């Protein structure tokens, strides 16, 4: 798995009717593929997130949508950024991701994290618990999911989950790549070093270099070559010659780039790639649904990578 240029679709609310909603998603994915993106990601949420919209705005169930996108694309890697572990039993998730890999002919990525959106948990009946409890659930889930998607049949009895020779069949590949999102230096980064192929670092521009250094240390401590744990950063992008930094919300400062294509290129190179991050995943909640916007982002990102 290599993620140099990723595109995330975080918003399905463009004022369109429900009948036009998914065709808009398909058009974004197909434009991303044609423009040279290597992967497309959806959020694993059932309600829209604060900052992007109201909770009741349209949200597609991620894996249903990814299965459909697999039939509408040919090359793109497909996954969530990232799956909330609390929303699915780990055996179900193993079946879901292996099914997506079969449908896509080997293009699935398993992105996974602890889950964090408390409102969804409360209203939909999922146990939220403490951060420590959610992390312990993730540890247990990985003891089941990783063997299952690798063709093994784990028997497991833990505090939260149990299995008896659990089986995931059919499988397309011997191993589906694993991605985790986060930046915690006590739990997330060490876990990434032990079990994951890719770490999507969730941090501001001013923290990225330190997080890369922490990733390298965590790998070296267990004898892993740091270069084998790829990294990316999720950046919100608005390419518009008239856009200025004044339009960036306070909560998004250090994670959002606006302006001309040239300025976006310069900012991503200086603030992300030059800090040691391997790749960039962008979302464009304001403009990504507009024809040509995704291709313009690809051009800017490629220029940053090549610069």
11 has pLDDT over 80: yes
| 301 compared with 26, residue with greater pLDDT | 26
DSSP 112-147: EE----HHHHHHHT-----HHHHHHHHHHHHHHHHH
Q: Which neighbouring-strand residues pair with 179?
A: 111, 198
Residues 289 and 28: beta-carbon distance below 8 Å: yes
Contacts of 147 (CB under 8 A, 6+ apart): 153, 154
Q: What is the pLDDT of residue 270?
A: 95
3-state secondary structure of 56: coil
pLDDT tier, 272 (very low <50, low <70, confident <90, very high otherwise): very high
How large a percentage of the chain has pLDDT more than 70?
A: 100
* pLDDT greater than 80 at residue 25: yes
Instruction: Please give the average per-residue pLDDT across 74-97, as a whole number.
Output: 97
272-279 mean pLDDT: 96
Q: So what's the pLDDT on residue 163?
A: 98
Residue 134 is part of a domain; what is its CATH number? Answer: 3.20.20.30
Give the C-alpha separation, 200 to 217, whole Å.
17
Residue-wise pLDDT for 109-129, tens only, equals: 999 999 999 999 999 999 999
Beta carbons within 8 Å of 153's beta carbon, 6+ residues apart:
147, 165, 166, 167
pLDDT value, residue 63: 98
- pTM reported for the whole predicted model: 0.96
Overall domain count for the chain: 1
pLDDT of residue 1: 66
* Mean pLDDT of the residues in the chain: 95
197-252: per-residue pLDDT in tens? 999 999 999 999 999 999 999 999 999 999 999 999 999 999 988 888 888 888 88
Sign of the four-CA dihedral 290, 292, 298, 299: negative
Closest CA to 182 of 194, 197, 199, 207: 199
Per-residue pLDDT averaged across 99-117, rounded? 97
CA angle 98, 101, 104 (to 5 degrees): 150
Predicted confidence (pLDDT) per residue in 247-262, tens digit: 888 888 889 999 999 9
> Is 28:306 a contact under the CB 8 Å cutoff?
no
State the Cα–Cα distance between residues 298 and 32, nearest whole angstrom.
8
**pLDDT at 251 (0 to 100):** 82
pLDDT of residue 73: 98
**pLDDT at residue 307 greater than cutoff 90:** no
Query: Which residues form the domain of 220?
Result: 5-306
Most confident of 13-17, 40-44, 52-56: 40-44
The predicted structure's pLDDT at residue 243: 84
Whether residue 155 is predicted with pLDDT greater than 70 in this model: the reply is yes
The answer to whether 79 and 108 are in contact (CB under 8 A) is yes
What was the pLDDT predicted at 250? 84
What's the pLDDT at 122? 97
User: Hunting for tokens 């390419």 — which residue is that?
Assistant: 239
Positive or negative torsion for Cα 277, 188, 157, 99? negative
């Amino acid at each position: 798995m290599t993620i140099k240029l990723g595109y995330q679709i975080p918003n399905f609310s463009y004022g369109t009717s429900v009948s036009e909603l998914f065709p808009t998603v398909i058009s974004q994915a197909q434009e991303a593929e044609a423009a040279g993106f290597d992967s497309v990601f959806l959020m694993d949420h059932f309600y829209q997130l604060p900052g992007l919209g109201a909770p009741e705005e349209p949200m597609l169930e991620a894996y249903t949508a990814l299965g459909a996108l697999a039939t509408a694309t040919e090359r793109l890697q497909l996954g969530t950024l990232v799956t909330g572990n609390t929303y699915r039993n780990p055996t179900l998730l193993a079946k879901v991701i292996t099914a997506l890999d079969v449908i896509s002919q080997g293009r699935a990525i398993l992105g996974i994290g602890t889950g964090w959106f408390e409102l969804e948990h409360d209203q939909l009946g999922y146990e939220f618990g403490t951060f420590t409890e959610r992390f312990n659930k993730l540890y247990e889930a990985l003891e089941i999911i990783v063997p299952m998607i690798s063709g093994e049949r784990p028997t497991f009895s833990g505090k939260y989950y149990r299995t008896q020779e659990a089986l995931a069949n059919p499988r397309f590949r011997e191993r589906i790549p694993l991605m985790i999102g986060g930046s915690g230096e006590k739990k997330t980064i060490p876990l990434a070093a032990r079990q994951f192929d890719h770490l999507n670092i969730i941090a501001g521009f001013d923290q990225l270099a330190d997080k890369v250094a922490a990733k390298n240390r965590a790998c070296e401590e267990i004898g892993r070559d740091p270069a084998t744990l790829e990294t990316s950063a999720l950046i919100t992008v608005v390419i518009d010659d008239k856009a200025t930094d004044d339009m960036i919300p306070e909560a998004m400062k250090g994670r959002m780039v606006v302006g001309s294509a040239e300025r976006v290129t310069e900012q991503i190179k200086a603030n992300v790639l030059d800090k040691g991050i391997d790749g960039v995943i962008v979302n464009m909640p304001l403009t990504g649904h507009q024809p040509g916007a995704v291709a313009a982002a690809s051009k800017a990102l490629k220029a940053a990578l090549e610069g």
